[in-house]
Amino acid sequence: MDCKSFINVKNVKIGIGRPKICVPLTGHTLQDLENQAKAAKDSEADIIELRIDYFIRENGKEKVLDVIGKIRKITQNIPLIFTFRTKEEGGECKISLEDYEQLNCAVAEHNMADIIDVEYNLGEELVQRLCKTLKLKRINVIASKHNFSMTESEQELAESMNKMAFLGADIVKVAMMPMDKFDVIRLMKVTLIMQEKLSVPIIAMSMGKLGAISRLCGEFFGSSVTFATVGDASAPGQMKSEKVLESLELIHRQFEV
């Protein structure tokens, strides 16, 4: 799978070759996060995501930069995604728009992440402003959209991907909940089409048990990253990283033939 443009983050080429495996850290305490980070580093993870909303729910925002610094000492050369997932998009706690923007800008200002996830549903104005601010700090931006109740129509999915790229995202991400197998196929179809149209990598997944296949065959339909676990899952349908890697490598070898 090669998209029109790829993102090179610490020598991990997102958008070329097999989908990269991203392992989320979901600890509620610093000790939990450090243990998860060590396990993720020892796994075959290509990328690590720090889901800071889990930590903030229990501890507040004051120690976030200190926590990220400690995690980065563990993850070292593995690309780190910083994500505060809002309650509305499946996260652990609520946050005001002002605090959300300030938090992400502070992480960028202190060069604490390689990639920052920005939620598209928070508003186009905010997304565009954050894309501009973060990229000035040489931080890559994922613009993401999640729907835990349904899979949106082909037109809605395509329009969202187009808009996220237009607003300045380096990577666009959509995660949808399927009601049936046709929802899974529709998401994969739209991603395949949009991969040919957009000049940025796409991350697309269908959640839950029905959507599990989408986490394994991204090289076939154009999804550049898949999320897998070495501990607790951060979204429905995530599988163990070592099993995911086996499947991805098996499929990738067929593409090389």
Both structure tokens of 48: 């690590």
In a domain, 11, yes or no: no
* Known active-site residue 173: yes
- Adjacent-strand bridge partners of 23: 48
Which tens digit of pLDDT belongs to each residue from 104-116?
999 999 999 999 9
pLDDT score at 250: 83
In a domain, 172, yes or no: yes
* Known active-site residue 135: no
In a domain, 112, yes or no: yes
In a domain, 169, yes or no: yes
pLDDT score at 236: 59
Which tens digit of pLDDT belongs to each residue from 199-252?
999 999 999 999 999 999 999 999 999 998 886 555 555 667 778 877 888 887
Across 32-44, average pLDDT: 93
In 3D space, the residue among 45, 49, 72 whose CA is nearest the CA of residue 171 turns out to be 49
Average pLDDT, the chain: 92
Q: How many domains does the chain contain in total?
A: 1
- Of the listed 4, 20, 87, 146, which one is catalytic? 146
In a domain, 97, yes or no: yes
Q: What is the CATH number of the domain that holds 198?
A: 3.20.20.70
In a domain, 1, yes or no: no
In 3D space, the residue among 140, 184, 130 whose CA is nearest the CA of residue 49 turns out to be 140
Instruction: Tell me the pTM.
Output: 0.93
Provide the residue range defining the domain that includes 245: 16-251
In a domain, 256, yes or no: no
Which tens digit of pLDDT belongs to each residue from 170-207?
999 999 999 999 999 999 999 999 999 999 999 999 99
In a domain, 4, yes or no: no
Q: What stretches of the chain show up as alpha helix (H) in DSSP?
A: 30-42, 52-59, 64-75, 97-109, 124-136, 154-166, 181-197, 218-221, 241-256
- Of the listed 173, 181, 189, 197, which one is catalytic? 173
